[in-house]
Amino acid sequence: MNPNSLPGHVLLLLSTVLGLSVGLEFTGSDGQWARYLRWDASTRSDLTFQFKTSESEGLLLYFDDGGYCDFLLLTVSEGKLQLRVSIDCAETTITSDKMVNDSRWHFAAINRHNLRTGLAVDGQTKTEEVRPQRQFMKIVSDLFLGGLPGDIRTSAITLPSVRELPPFRGIITDFSYGSKLPTLINSQKVRLEMMGLCTENPCENGGICSLADGETYCDCSKTGYVGRYCTEAVQRKPGLAHLKAEQGRNKVVRGHSKWEAGENRLENKRRKERLEWGKGLKAKDGEKERRIVCCR
């Protein structure tokens, strides 16, 4: 079965039944895009996904109010995620601290809460707030991943410079609006595939990969390493095992000392017995001599 021959909603259904993820592979070619039904981020909502890329620049996500003031743009910029948000023409920018162009899986989340917008990358969250006259975000367009369709008029794009951004190259999966799977309307030059996130094991040094709640986890307990991908060497410190080993050695030393003390006491006892036995012999010999002298 070729996943690319199936409609988006069928792929989403299969992913739910089979416990797999719908991966969208973007090649970075001109004219690529994936179109999702509009995300209602006007007041409060979350958007989450996982992705990996080796590129330092690329358009990840975009939607707007149809050419007026409001837009949300997520890009890979200089190897980091950068989020630009405009509400009633009051704009702010959030840039992640973490580099993401390392070909590893990363978890990203966008949180909208009225005038506050947050960007999280692998659990590290940064939040900014704007102060417009209007207290909510207007959204008209659908949501686009990886690029924009060429048939959208420039006048209908709130941020026309978005067309100049390089298309995203990499893989996006586990894309969701809150706890719901969004509707994939259509796409162009984007490969859809059924995949498990542990297929390409992100865990290093023998770590075991598992998937829970759409996220990968690495079991590093038997590796001697820690961290998200079992890459950080454990700093050895005296712990319980070390103390027990030390106590065991002390017990051996104390036991050996007790054994030596016991041996010394036994040897002294034997010496005393030999001495007493020797004295007894001399006493008996003396009595014999006296008896012989007496009887002559």
- Which tens digit of pLDDT belongs to each residue from 135-144? 899 999 999 9
pLDDT cut 90: percent of the chain above it: 52
Instruction: Check residues 77 and 179 and name the one with the higher pLDDT.
Output: 77
User: Residue 257: pLDDT above 70?
Assistant: no
In this structure, are residues 101 and 79 in contact, taking their beta carbons and an 8 Å threshold?
yes
How high is the mean pLDDT of the chain?
80
Instruction: Check residues 293 and 177 and name the one with the higher pLDDT.
Output: 177
Instruction: Check residues 294 and 83 and name the one with the higher pLDDT.
Output: 83
In this structure, are residues 172 and 24 in contact, taking their beta carbons and an 8 Å threshold?
yes
Q: What is the mean pLDDT of residues 138-165?
A: 95
In the chain the beta strands, taken as DSSP E runs, fall at 21-27, 33-36, 44-52, 57-64, 71-77, 80-87, 90-99, 106-113, 116-121, 124-129, 143-145, 169-177, 184-188, 190-195, 208-212, 215-219, 225-226, 232-233
pLDDT band at 208 (very low <50, low <70, confident <90, very high): confident
Structure confidence at residue 100 (pLDDT): 97
CA distances from 189 to 12, 31, 60, 111, 154 (A): 19, 7, 15, 29, 21
Structure confidence at residue 102 (pLDDT): 96
Lowest mean pLDDT among 16-20, 55-59, 96-100: 16-20
What are the residue boundaries of the structural domains of the chain, listed by start? 3-196, 247-296
* 36 vs 185: CA distance, rounded Å: 5
Structure confidence at residue 264 (pLDDT): 62
pLDDT band at 19 (very low <50, low <70, confident <90, very high): very low
Structure confidence at residue 59 (pLDDT): 98
User: Residue 278: pLDDT above 80?
Assistant: no
Classify 7 as helix, strand or coil.
Answer: coil
- Give CA angle at 194 (192, 220), nearest 5°: 125
pLDDT band at 244 (very low <50, low <70, confident <90, very high): low
In this structure, are residues 174 and 192 in contact, taking their beta carbons and an 8 Å threshold?
no
pLDDT tens, position by position, 63-117:
999 999 999 999 999 999 999 999 999 999 999 999 999 999 999 999 999 899 9
User: Residue 214: pLDDT above 60?
Assistant: no
Q: What CATH architecture does domain 3-196 belong to?
A: Sandwich (2.60)
pLDDT band at 179 (very low <50, low <70, confident <90, very high): confident
Q: Which residues pair with 187 in a beta bridge?
A: 34
